[in-house]
Structure 1
Amino acid sequence: MSARSGPPLGFAEAFDLPLSVDLRTAARAFGVCPDTAYKLIRLGRFPCPVLRVGRRYRIPTAYMLRALGIEERPVYAVDLEAGAAHAAQHHRISHHETEAPE
């Protein structure tokens, strides 16, 4: 059995993942080595759906998090601030576009 690809993923790292991850990242999330992850896929026993893209495997992050018992992404204050800033910028742009020229 080969060593893990790194330490298990923490919550903060898991929530910053892209829409899909490679098999090594998914293996880290489940706390298994990549060789075990490949074996589970071959046996049809990987804990979440796996996509085959060419010669590589991709795991949809939403399915992976759900299999880990994480149903919802927590909301952090920084997320709320970023969302508010985006909404304010969008409001300024749309308000500017609807103003009639003088």
Structure 2
Amino acid sequence: MEPMTHEELAALPTTTTIETAARALGLGRTRAYQLARENRFPCKVIRIGTTYRVITVDLQRRLATDTNS
């Protein structure tokens, strides 16, 4: 899976799917869902029924922190 570009990250809506967030973070889909179920996903996750949504600004903040470390 290709990492996300800065342009792709900037174009994301207010919330995004856990699959998209996982791609941005370099995580696999299965691992991302596992972390979300365990409340250990590295970004703010909102569960709506059986769907997980990630707050895009939190994802972008996390990626900026990882880049600056």
- Per the shorter chain, which TM-score range? 0.7 to 0.9
| Superposed counterparts of 1:85-96, under 5 Å | none
Q: Percent identity?
A: 40
Q: State the number of aligned residues.
A: 65
* Structure having the larger proportion of residues in strand: 2
For 2:62 and 2:12, locate their aligned partners in 1 and report how far apart those are by CA, in whole Å.
Answer: 15
Partner of 2:18: 23
Pick the aligned partner of 1:61 from 33, 56, 61.
56
* Alpha-carbon RMSD: 1.2
Residue 11 (1) aligns with residue 6 (2): yes
Partner of 2:42: 47
For 1:21 and 1:51, locate their aligned partners in 2 and report how far apart those are by CA, in whole Å.
Answer: 10
Structure 1 unaligned runs (5+)? 1-5, 71-102
Structure with larger RCO (C-alpha < 8 A, sep 6+): 2
Structure 2 unaligned runs (5+)? none
**TM-score normalised per structure 1:** 0.59
SS of residue matched to 2:64: coil
Structure 1 segments (4+ residues) deviating >6 Å: none
The structural deviation recorded for 1:43 is: 2.3
The structural deviation recorded for 1:68 is: 1.0
